[in-house]
Amino acid sequence: MKYKNLREEYRQFELRDEDVLDNPFAQFEQWFDDALKQNPTDTNAMVLSTVSNDGWPQGRVVLLKEVDHGFVWFTNYGSGKGQDLAHSPKAAVTFWWPGTARQVRVTGTVEKVSEKESDEYFQSRPRNSQAGAIASHQSSRILGRESLENRYEALIALPETTTFQRPENWGGYRLIPHSFEFWQGRESRLHDRILFTKDGTTNWKKERLSP
């Protein structure tokens, strides 16, 4: 199949140099809020890109849960992405917000969040999500869905007073950025691209890239 006729001209927004904030975290927060106002559905969805032990790039969508000095998400440490990050703790996350025709790419190094942070987030989750995290041995092969559902149903059947504890192999990661790229779709494919990189100190260097 060919998709060459699927085109969109981006005319709604622009990214002028004088409007770009000096701090990329602040710029991200501004764009995130704009996207949230346009369409709140999965605004925090991001493509997490890693590299496997055999050198193959891997991508999947995860949900951003917090931005502090990094970008935080939660998952099973034994999953494919967890194994990738154990091998190479470098990754990228990509956000795409079609309502504003904006993309943000962030690359950096990844570390696990503290056990306290993981415990607090796990206990904040709905009970069925907690049970799902315990029941699923993420990325491992299973013979069929029935065995997964049976483990889940056995957990849900426990008394409501039962407190589920976070599995040791489940928790959070934090990507510490060393670069941000803000991409604004423009007409005739003359897109705006602003790159932030660390200049060797705590400061960020800002420059415009050709589309």
Q: If you search the block for the tokens 């990325």, which residue do you land on?
A: 139
- The active-site residue, picked from 145, 189, 193, 208, is 189
For residue 36, report the phi and psi dihedrals to the nearest 5 degrees.
Answer: -65, -40
189 catalytically annotated: yes
User: What single letter denotes the amino acid at residue 24?
Assistant: P
Distance, CA of 84 to CA of 95 (rounded, Å): 20
Q: What CA–CA distances, in Å, run from 145 to 142, 150, 167?
A: 7, 9, 21
**Vertex 106 angle, CA 133 and 26, to 5°:** 100
- Report which of 153, 158, 161 is spatially closest to residue 132, judged by C-alpha positions: 153
| Nearby residues of 35 by Cβ (< 8 Å), 6 or more positions away | 43, 95, 97, 99, 100, 102
CB 207 within 8 A of CB 31: no
**Among all residues, which ones are annotated catalytic?**
189
